[in-house]
Amino acid sequence: MSDYNPKEIEPKWQRIWEDNNFYQTRIDPGRKKYYVLEMFPYPSGKLHMGHMRVYSIGDVLARFFRMKGFNVLHPMGWDAFGLPAENAAIQHKVHPARWTDENIAFMKKQQDSLGLSYDWEREVTTCYPDYYKWTQWLFLKLYEMGLAYKEKAAVNWCSQCETVLANEQVIDNVCWRCGTRVSPQDLEQWFFAITRYADRLLGDLDILEGWPERVKIMQRNWIGRSEGAQVNFPVKDSSKVINVFTTRPDTLYGVTYMVLAPEHPYVKEMVEGTSREKEVLSFVEEMRRVSEIDRASAETEKLGIFTGAYCINPLNGEEIPIMVGNYVLMSYGTGAIMAVPAHDQRDFIFAKKYNLPVKLVIKPPDQDLISEEMIEAYEEPGIMVNSGPFDGMDSRECIGKITAYLEENSWGRQDVSYRLRDWLVSRQRYWGAPIPVIYCDSCGTVPVPYEDLPVHLPLEVEFESSRQSSLKTLEEFKRVSCPQCGGEGQRETDTMDTFVCSSWYFLRYASPFSEDLPFEREEVDYWLPVDQYIGGIEHAILHLMYSRFFTKVLYDAGLTGITEPFSRLLAQGMVYKDGAKMAKSKGNVVTPDEIVEKYGADTGRLFILFAAPPEKDLDWSDKGVEGCYRFLRRVWRLVNDNRDLLRKSHQESIKVNELNSLEREVYQMINSAVKRVSEDVQERFNFNTAISAIMELVNSLYHYLDKVEAGEIKENLFLKGANNLILLLAPFSPHITEELWSILGHEESVHLQSWPGYDQEALKAADVEVVVQINGKVRDKVVVSADSSKEELLKTAKSLPKIQSQLEGKEIVKEIIVPNKLVNLVVK
C-alpha cells in the first residue's frame, strides 16, 4: 500500500479542479445561494498565517454549503492600490504596477497550493483600469448626489507617507500604516459626506444580528451620537450670537463662562482692535500648531485665555465671560461650548485653573453641596437649585423641560450631534485611482464625463527623486481641456484612498463582466448580501463602516436593493506563537509555504481549524501540526489498508435491528459524528469540535476493526463509516479526501457529493449509563436499557449494593429521577 504523500496528491487534484473549472459559479434562481467572502488581501508579497487562517475558514464554509446543495459564490481578488507598492518603487526601482503584478502572481500560486475553492473567473484587481474605472464612476455618482465635496479643513498629515489621512486612519495620534505622528495642516481636500448617513449607519447596526457585539459597539462609539440642545447666547454689545451644543440643558442656569475653539471665526472678530488682540491671537496660533487629535486627548493640559468679550445667558440674563480654550474642538458640535464647572469635570478643572466661578444648580438628593467647597464636578442627576422656575424639580425631567422652554422662546432647539466626521478620501499619492475631476478657470470644478472614464493612471512616471506623488509634476497628465467649455483645464492630481476601492468590491464579484455599469442590478440582487463575511477585527471600523456607507449610498442611487452588505460577520482571531504575534523581528514566523512543503495543505488547514475556535486567537504549535498530520495518515491507512474490503462492498444499507452491540456502537458513532459536524459547522462555526467529532469517528472505526474477528467485519457498516468519514472531512482537508474517495472507486469528485444525513433513531443507544447520586455525589453508575421508566430506574438504583450500604440507617427525604441521566437520592 502506498503511503500518504500529500506532495504528490495535492498538486494533482488542484490541477484537476482547475482544468475542470470546478468552482465556476453561475446564477441559478432555482437554488438557494450562499455568498461566502474573505476580506481580499493587499498583495504585499507573500501570504502569512493570518491569511491562511481566514482562507481556511472561508473554504470550509464554501465547500460545506456546496455539499449542502447551496449555489455558493466564493471569490477572491486584490486590494492592489496602496503605498507599499510605491515605497518598493522608490527603494528597489521597480514600477508599482510590476511589483503588484508579481506579488499577485506569487500569492495566487500560494492560495492555489492551499486548495482553496475560488471561482477565479471573478477575480478583481483594484489597480486595473477595468476596475478603477468603476471606482471613478462611483466617485462621480457620489459627486452627482452631492455626497462628494472639496473643502479646506484642518486635516491629518503624515509626513512619512506624505499624504493626508482620514480620521479613522489615525490611531492614537499616529498613522495607522507607518506609525508616524500626524500633524495638522489646513488643506483643501475631497470628502465623502458619510456623516449624512450617521443615523442610518447607527440604526441599522440593530438589524445586523449576525455581527459580533464588539464590532457593533466599536462602530456605535465611533459614530458617537449624542442628543441634546443647541442654545443661542447673544454676545454683549454686538449683533453676534454664539451657538453651543449641550447634552445637559438641565445645567443651563449654571453656565459661568463660554469657551470657543481657537479656530472659531468669532475669536478674531471679537478681539480685533481691542487691547487683547495680540495676546489672544498668539495664543490661538500656538494652539493651532497642535493636532486636533492631540488636543482632544484627555491628558492634554487645558489652556485658555479671556477674549475680553461677554455674552448673555438667555435664561437668566447673566453676563458671562467668553474664553478661548484648547479643549474645545472646531469640528465637533458648533465649535463653542457653554461651561458649567459645577457639573462638568472638564469645565471644573478649567475654572479652578483660571479662577472662574463655580455655580451649583443641581444638588444631590440626599445632601447639600456648597459651590466654593466642591473638589470635583457633580455630574449625577439630582434636584434643581438656583434655576429659576425649575427649582426643586428632578434634573432628569428638566432636560426635556428646559429644551422645550428654549424652543418656546426661540433661544435654542433640540439637536443631535455626532462624533463621526466626513470621510477624507483624497490622497497625495501616485499609486491610487485618480480622482476624476478637472479644474477649469471659467467653469470651476468639473467632473469628468462618465463616458470619458477611466481616467487612466499614467504608467510612464519617474520615482527617482522624491516621495511626492509623480502625478503632481506630470504635465501631460495634468493638462487637459475642460469638458464643459473646451478651454484649458487641469486634472486633479490626487488619487483616492484605497478604502474607496475596497468599499464596493464585494458587489463587483457578483457581476465581474458588467461593461455598462459597475455591476448589473440583477446579478447583485441574486447574490447579495454576503451571507458570511470573514476578516480581521482591525477593520471593525475602517473598511466595514465605509462598505456599509457605500452600500447605503448605492441603495439610494437605485443601483442595489440592499441596505447592508454583510449579513453575518466573523472576526477571526490572530495567530500567535510563543505568546507573541508572529513577526520577523521576534523570529517566531511560520509560513504557509513551509507547512505545505513539510506536511501538505490538508494538514495545515486542519491544524489551523482544530487549534482554536475561529474568533479566538490561535496559538501556533508545531507539535499540534504533527498531531494533525498523524491523524490524516491514520485516516489514509484506515481506508487504504482496507481498500479491497471497501471496494468489494457495494451497498451500505444497514438493517439496524440485526446489528450486535459492538456494531451498534459503531453505527451510533457514525450517525452522531454526522450530526455533530453538521451542527458545529453550520450553526456554531466551531470547526475545532467538528474536527474532534471526526477524530472520534476514526477512533471508533479503528476500535471496531481491533475488536471484531477477522472475516466477521460487517462490510456495509464499515463502508458507511468510511464513506461518511471522507465526506465529513472533505471541507477541511479537500485533497486527501478526494484521493481516498477515488481510491474507493467513486468516479465523481467528493466535493460534488451531497452532505450526509443521519438516522435520528440511531443516535439513541440501546443501553444508557445512569448515574446514581446520594446527596448530589456520584456513588455508582448502572447501565440500563434506554427509556427505562422512572419507577424502574429508582428500583434499580436502590438495589445497587454500593447504594444500599450507603443508605443504611438513613432516611430518604427526596428522590430525583432524570430519565436516561441520573438518580439522586437525598438522605438524612
Q: Which of 226, 238, 371, 484 binds RNA (CB under 7 A)?
A: 226
605 is a contact residue toward RNA (CB under 7 A):
no
Sign of CA dihedral 602, 608, 612, 613: negative
771-800: which residues touch RNA (CB under 7 A)? 771, 773, 775-778, 781
* Interacting residues of 414 by C-beta distance below 8 A, sequence separation 6+: 227, 228, 229, 403, 407
617 is a contact residue toward RNA (CB under 7 A):
yes
Q: Which of 109, 616, 647, 764 binds RNA (CB under 7 A)?
A: 616
Q: Closest separation between CB of residue 493 and RNA, Å?
A: 31
The rounded distance, in Å, linking the Cα atoms of 15 and 59 is 17
User: Nearer to RNA by C-beta: 210 or 486?
Assistant: 210
Q: Which of 58, 77, 335, 436 binds RNA (CB under 7 A)?
A: 335
241 is a contact residue toward RNA (CB under 7 A):
no
The rounded distance, in Å, linking the Cα atoms of 814 and 775 is 9
Q: Which of 362, 383, 691, 717 binds RNA (CB under 7 A)?
A: 691
| DSSP, residue by residue, 266-297 | HHHHHHTTSTTHHHHHHHHHHHHTS-HHHHTS
Q: Which of 238, 247, 490, 563 binds RNA (CB under 7 A)?
A: 247
692-721: which residues touch RNA (CB under 7 A)? 692, 695-696, 699, 702-703, 706
Place of cell 441634546: 228
User: Nearer to RNA by C-beta: 148 or 244?
Assistant: 244
Cell numbers for 100, please give them: 503588484
Q: Closest separation between CB of residue 640 and RNA, Å?
A: 13
266-295: which residues touch RNA (CB under 7 A)? 293, 295
User: Nearer to RNA by C-beta: 568 or 703?
Assistant: 703
363 is a contact residue toward RNA (CB under 7 A):
no
Q: Closest separation between CB of residue 161 and RNA, Å?
A: 20
Place of cell 474573505: 38
Q: Which stretch binds RNA (CB under 7 A): 25-33, 70-78, 406-414, 613-621?
A: 613-621
User: Nearer to RNA by C-beta: 51 or 577?
Assistant: 577
Sign of CA dihedral 502, 506, 509, 510: negative
The rounded distance, in Å, linking the Cα atoms of 737 and 723 is 10
The helix-helix angle for 129-144 and 542-556 (nearest 10°) equals 60
User: Nearer to RNA by C-beta: 357 or 483?
Assistant: 357
The rounded distance, in Å, linking the Cα atoms of 766 and 763 is 9
Q: Which amino acid is at 495?
A: T
Nearest to 102 by CA among 78, 83, 123: 78
68-127: which residues touch RNA (CB under 7 A)? none
* Interacting residues of 817 by C-beta distance below 8 A, sequence separation 6+: 790, 793, 794, 823, 824
Q: Which of 23, 99, 191, 245 binds RNA (CB under 7 A)?
A: 245
For 360-392, letters b (16+ CB in 10 Å) and e give bbbbeeeeeeebeebeebbeebbbbbbbeebee
645-684: which residues touch RNA (CB under 7 A)? 676, 679-680
Q: Which of 688, 742, 753, 796 binds RNA (CB under 7 A)?
A: 688
Place of cell 477624507: 424
685 is a contact residue toward RNA (CB under 7 A):
no
User: Nearer to RNA by C-beta: 329 or 743?
Assistant: 329
**Do 115 and 10 meet the contact criterion of CB atoms below 8 Å apart?**
yes
The rounded distance, in Å, linking the Cα atoms of 431 and 454 is 15
**Do 321 and 356 meet the contact criterion of CB atoms below 8 Å apart?**
yes
User: Nearer to RNA by C-beta: 222 or 549?
Assistant: 222
56 is a contact residue toward RNA (CB under 7 A):
no
Site string for RNA, 494-533 (x = CB under 7 A): ----------------------------------------
The rounded distance, in Å, linking the Cα atoms of 528 and 33 is 9
Q: Closest separation between CB of residue 764 and RNA, Å?
A: 13
**Do 261 and 335 meet the contact criterion of CB atoms below 8 Å apart?**
yes
Q: Which of 337, 406, 501, 674 binds RNA (CB under 7 A)?
A: 337
User: Nearer to RNA by C-beta: 297 or 468?
Assistant: 297
Site string for RNA, 157-196 (x = CB under 7 A): --------------x-------------------------
Q: Which stretch binds RNA (CB under 7 A): 356-364, 422-430, 588-596, 818-826?
A: 818-826
* Interacting residues of 355 by C-beta distance below 8 A, sequence separation 6+: none
120-149: which residues touch RNA (CB under 7 A)? none
Q: Give the number of residues in contact with RNA, rule: CB under 7 A.
A: 90
Q: Closest separation between CB of residue 403 and RNA, Å?
A: 12
- Angle ∠(575,580,586) on CA atoms, nearest 5: 110
243 is a contact residue toward RNA (CB under 7 A):
no
Nearest to 544 by CA among 523, 568, 528: 568
409-438: which residues touch RNA (CB under 7 A)? 417, 419
**Do 790 and 770 meet the contact criterion of CB atoms below 8 Å apart?**
no
543 is a contact residue toward RNA (CB under 7 A):
no
| Alpha helices, H only, 409-450 | none
228 is a contact residue toward RNA (CB under 7 A):
yes
User: Nearer to RNA by C-beta: 245 or 463?
Assistant: 245
222 is a contact residue toward RNA (CB under 7 A):
yes
630 is a contact residue toward RNA (CB under 7 A):
yes
